[in-house]
């Protein structure tokens, strides 16, 4: 009997020491040093997490630890018996860097700044997914981690389809789970204006509405009067109060919201309210189909800049982001070629080609926004008439624009369609997924992206700030559908953004994915279960 109980006791120790936790999460931390021997510390929900007193952000981080790990925030003191400590002071110039140490003293997180602590908590949160009960066994470990890029973005188009504010909050939660720190919010387009402008109250009220939407694809179906439309109005805009709350919500999660008001093209919705801002004078109506409109803002009408300055003034009032996205993509110059006002402006400014008119507007906007301490970023078409002095470039038509901009020492976000357009199909068999805009961007192809082109010199490479995936929503009709397009491709993108190239390994990534998928299910996030 004695021998049996000794055996049982030994077995109990072994069982207690066992843990399923490997810390091999997505994105994969830079270094995970497990201490051999399988010792564990117990993370008991209901025990304390000590944070530096009087640091509001660290209190908020402790509250995140409470939400995700079940520990209770307590201001740090000598008497503290907390199982977990969060602190600052890690010596690393990367503000998002952190270390996690699990040893016999407990769980200790140190960040280079508060954001680093936040990411450490995310790593622990993902590590313990699937661990049940109030007592979780954590193997001894030292994790050191920091993201590769400072700009880790994701774009959502809320113009083509309107997404309710509750979903925007959820979207931000999803971005935070994946270590994303920039939410690029595409707010206006031909098919809808979603930003409340108080000095132009008609704008969002009228241009935030379209009576119906083309059924299926434009291409092939677009046939004038015979075109099929649904009978569902698409309607909505975000009030400035709602936006301020979103910006704050995102900031707590170390996400900057970068708004985009696309100019001078993709403006038909605005033109429908202010037809005098178009070269022909209209009339215009909010588009109910997709594509690129020849009707853009008139570059020769002084009212255009007055309008834009009103809009961007209010944009800056609610979005503190340093970067303000001015769009600039897909703006045909056909109307400008035929418009007396535009041609007169070209003559006045001694411009040789219409593309330079776009640069003229960009420069005006750059100067205007600089007075407010902001900087412009635009799609790569902004290179065509020459970049304004301090503009940054979002390279979407491949890498070419980004390479050119970096060589000119302009900052660049890489977001080439072939790797980053998650509005594309994600499976080869189109019948197995909802209608999409086209293309084929499987998970593996997102994962394979390298944001820094080999042809850049080391010096030029420094201008590549990071990468971003874009979710355009012509064919993305609901929050569930948006999540399905986003995940798990965002998981692949987040390793592009976070993990050092030498540590990237697609097979290994696929082995780590099920734990994250389990989390998606638990949190009610829809995702594409098939993987290619
Ligand atoms: C874009 O996809 N038109 C930037
Ligand atoms: Zn004009």
| Sign for the pseudo-dihedral over CA of 268, 271, 276, 281 | positive
Q: 195 and 68, same structural domain?
A: no
Q: 163 and 46, same structural domain?
A: no
- Give the residue, by CA position, lying nearest to ligand 1 atom 3: 329
Q: For residues 322-331, give the mean pLDDT.
A: 98
User: Which H/E stretch holds residue 60?
Assistant: helix 56-69
Best of 330, 332, 398, 421 for a ligand 1 pocket test (most atoms within 8 Å of beta carbon): 330
Indicate if ligand 1 lies below 6 Å from the C-beta of 163: no
Q: For residues 18-36, give the mean pLDDT.
A: 93
pLDDT one-digit tens code per residue, 454-498: 999 999 999 999 999 999 999 999 999 999 999 999 999 999 999
Indicate if ligand 1 lies below 6 Å from the C-beta of 185: no
Q: Taking a C-beta distance cutoff of 8 angstroms, is the pair 332, 265 a contact? A: yes
pLDDT one-digit tens code per residue, 46-87: 999 999 999 999 999 999 999 999 999 999 887 888 999 999
- The rounded Å distance from CA 396 to ligand 1 centre is 7
Annotated catalytic, 184? Answer: no
Q: For residues 31-53, give the mean pLDDT.
A: 90
Indicate if ligand 1 lies below 6 Å from the C-beta of 329: yes
Which range (2-11, 132-141, 499-508) has the least confidence? 2-11
Range 154-176 burial, b when 16+ CB lie within 10 A, else e: bbbbbbbbbbebebbebbbebbb
- The rounded Å distance from CA 380 to ligand 1 centre is 9
Q: Do the domain assignments include residue 531?
A: no
Global pTM value:
0.95
Confidence of residue 227 (pLDDT cuts 50, 70, 90): confident
Best of 265, 377, 472, 476 for a ligand 1 pocket test (most atoms within 8 Å of beta carbon): 472
| CATH at residue 46 | 3.30.379.10
Q: Do the domain assignments include residue 29?
A: yes
- For residue 327, the ligand 1 atom closest to its alpha carbon is 4
Indicate if ligand 1 lies below 6 Å from the C-beta of 290: no
Residue 9: pLDDT above 60? no
As a whole number of angstroms, the distance between CA 121 and CA 53 comes to 18
What's the pLDDT at 219? 58
Percent of the chain with pLDDT over 70: 95
Q: 267 and 125, same structural domain?
A: no
- The rounded Å distance from CA 266 to ligand 1 centre is 10
Q: 210 and 103, same structural domain?
A: no
Number of domains comprising the chain? 2
Q: Do the domain assignments include residue 379?
A: yes
| CATH at residue 329 | 3.20.20.80
Q: Is 320 helix (H, G, I), strand (E, B) or coil?
A: coil
What's the pLDDT at 17? 57
Indicate if ligand 1 lies below 6 Å from the C-beta of 397: no
Beta-bridge partner residues of 108: 85, 101
**What are the residues whose beta carbons fall under 8 Å from the beta carbon of 489, sequence distance 6 or more?**
422, 426, 441, 443, 446, 469, 528
Q: Do the domain assignments include residue 20?
A: yes
Q: Do the domain assignments include residue 518?
A: yes
Q: How many CB atoms lie within 10 A of CB 406?
A: 27
Residues surrounding ion ligand 2 at CB below 5 Å: 279, 298, 300, 339, 341-342
Greater confidence (20 vs 208) lies with 208
pLDDT one-digit tens code per residue, 194-207: 999 999 999 999 99
Number of Cα atoms under 13 Å in the Cβ half of residue 364: 19
Domain boundary among 93, 119, 145: 145
pLDDT one-digit tens code per residue, 264-273: 999 999 999 9
As a whole number of angstroms, the distance between CA 83 and CA 414 comes to 42
Domain boundary among 145, 180, 203: 145
Q: For residues 154-180, give the mean pLDDT.
A: 98
Q: 358 and 304, same structural domain?
A: yes
Indicate if ligand 1 lies below 6 Å from the C-beta of 424: no
As a whole number of angstroms, the distance between CA 460 and CA 404 comes to 10
With tokens 């769980």, the residue in question is: 107
Closest CA to 385 of 406, 404, 357, 407: 357
Annotated catalytic, 330? Answer: yes
Indicate if ligand 1 lies below 6 Å from the C-beta of 375: no
Q: 138 and 62, same structural domain?
A: yes
Q: 179 and 126, same structural domain?
A: no
Annotated catalytic, 114? Answer: no
What's the pLDDT at 504? 98
What's the pLDDT at 19? 86
Nearest ligand to the CA of 160 is 1
- For residue 470, the ligand 1 atom closest to its alpha carbon is 2
Q: Do the domain assignments include residue 456?
A: yes
In the DSSP assignment, the letter for residue 9 is H
Residue 393: pLDDT above 70? yes
Q: Do the domain assignments include residue 105?
A: yes
CA 454 to chain centre: 25
| Sign for the pseudo-dihedral over CA of 78, 80, 81, 87 | negative
Average pLDDT over the chain reads 94
Residue 180: pLDDT above 70? yes
Domain boundary among 145, 178, 201: 145
Q: 340 and 230, same structural domain?
A: yes
Q: 187 and 123, same structural domain?
A: no
- For residue 421, the ligand 1 atom closest to its alpha carbon is 2
Which range (174-178, 193-197, 222-226) has the least confidence? 222-226
Q: Taking a C-beta distance cutoff of 8 angstroms, is the pair 145, 179 a contact? A: no
- For residue 472, the ligand 1 atom closest to its alpha carbon is 2
What's the pLDDT at 6? 43
pLDDT one-digit tens code per residue, 421-463: 999 999 999 999 999 999 999 999 999 999 999 999 999 999 9
Q: 475 and 410, same structural domain?
A: yes
Best of 396, 413, 438, 439 for a ligand 1 pocket test (most atoms within 8 Å of beta carbon): 396
- Give the residue, by CA position, lying nearest to ligand 1 atom 4: 329
Q: 209 and 280, same structural domain?
A: yes
- The rounded Å distance from CA 315 to ligand 1 centre is 21
Q: Do the domain assignments include residue 289?
A: yes
- The rounded Å distance from CA 53 to ligand 1 centre is 46
- The rounded Å distance from CA 397 to ligand 1 centre is 8
Q: Taking a C-beta distance cutoff of 8 angstroms, is the pair 359, 385 a contact? A: yes
Torsion of CA 416, 422, 427, 433, to 10 degrees: -150
Active-site residue, selected from the candidate residues 129, 145, 146, 189: 189
Q: Taking a C-beta distance cutoff of 8 angstroms, is the pair 123, 81 a contact? A: no
**Domain around 137:** 6-145
Indicate if ligand 1 lies below 6 Å from the C-beta of 437: no
Indicate if ligand 1 lies below 6 Å from the C-beta of 532: no
Q: 513 and 481, same structural domain?
A: yes
Number of Cα atoms under 13 Å in the Cβ half of residue 406: 26
Indicate if ligand 1 lies below 6 Å from the C-beta of 171: no
Q: How many CB atoms lie within 10 A of CB 344?
A: 11
pLDDT one-digit tens code per residue, 240-274: 999 999 999 999 999 999 999 999 999 999 999 99
């Amino acid at each position: 009997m004695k021998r049996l109980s000794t055996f049982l006791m030994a077995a109990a120790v072994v069982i207690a020491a066992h843990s399923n936790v490997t810390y091999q999460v997505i994105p994969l931390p830079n270094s995970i040093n497990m201490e051999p021997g399988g010792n564990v510390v117990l993370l008991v929900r209901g025990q304390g997490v000590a944070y530096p007193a009087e640091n509001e952000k660290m209190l908020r981080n402790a509250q995140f630890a409470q939400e995700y790990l079940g520990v209770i925030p307590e201001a740090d003191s000598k008497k503290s018996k907390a199982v977990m400590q969060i602190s600052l002071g890690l010596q690393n110039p990367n503000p998002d860097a952190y270390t996690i140490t699990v040893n016999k003293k407990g769980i200790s997180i140190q960040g280079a700044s508060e954001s680093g602590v936040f990411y450490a908590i995310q790593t622990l949160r993902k590590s313990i997914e699937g661990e049940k009960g109030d007592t979780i066994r954590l193997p001894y470990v030292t994790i050191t981690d920091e993201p590769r890029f400072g700009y880790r973005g994701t774009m959502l188009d809320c113009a083509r389809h309107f997404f309710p504010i509750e979903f925007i909050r959820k979207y931000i939660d999803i971005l935070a789970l994946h270590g994303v720190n920039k939410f690029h919010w595409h707010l206006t387009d031909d098919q809808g204006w979603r930003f409340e402008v108080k000095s132009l109250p008609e704008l969002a009220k009228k241009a935030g509405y379209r009576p119906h939407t083309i059924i299926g694809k434009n291409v092939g179906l677009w046939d004038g009067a015979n075109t099929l439309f649904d009978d569902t109005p698409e309607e909505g805009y975000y009030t400035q109060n709602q936006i301020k709350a979103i910006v704050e919500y995102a900031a707590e999660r170390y996400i900057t919201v970068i708004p985009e008001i696309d100019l001078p093209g993709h403006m038909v919705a605005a033109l429908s309210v202010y037809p005098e801002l178009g070269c022909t004078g209209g009339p215009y109506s909010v588009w109910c189909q997709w594509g690129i409109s020849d009707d853009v803002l008139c570059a020769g009408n002084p009212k255009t800049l007055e309008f834009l300055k009103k809009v961007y003034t209010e944009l800056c009032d609610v979005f503190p982001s340093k970067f303000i996205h001015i769009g600039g993509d897909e703006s045909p110059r056909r109307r400008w070629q035929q418009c007396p006002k535009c041609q007169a402006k070209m003559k006045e400014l001694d411009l040789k080609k219409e593309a330079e008119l776009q640069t003229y507007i960009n420069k005006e906007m750059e100067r205007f926004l600089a007075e407010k301490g902001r900087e412009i970023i635009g799609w790569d078409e902004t290179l065509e008439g020459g970049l304004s002095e301090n503009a940054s470039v979002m390279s979407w038509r491949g890498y070419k624009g980004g390479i050119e901009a970096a060589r000119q020492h302009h900052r660049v976000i890489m977001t080439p369609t072939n790797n980053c357009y998650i509005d594309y199909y994600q499976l080869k068999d189109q019948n197995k997924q909802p209608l999409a805009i086209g293309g084929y961007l499987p998970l593996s192809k997102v994962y394979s992206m390298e944001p820094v082109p080999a042809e850049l010199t080391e010096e030029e490479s420094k201008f590549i700030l990071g990468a971003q995936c874009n979710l355009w929503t012509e064919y993305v009709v609901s929050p569930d559908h948006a999540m399905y397009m986003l995940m798990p491709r965002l998981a692949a993108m987040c390793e592009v953004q976070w993990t050092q190239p030498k540590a990237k390994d697609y097979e290994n990534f696929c082995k780590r994915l099920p734990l994250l998928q389990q989390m998606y299910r638990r949190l009610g996030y829809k995702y594409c279960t098939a993987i290619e």
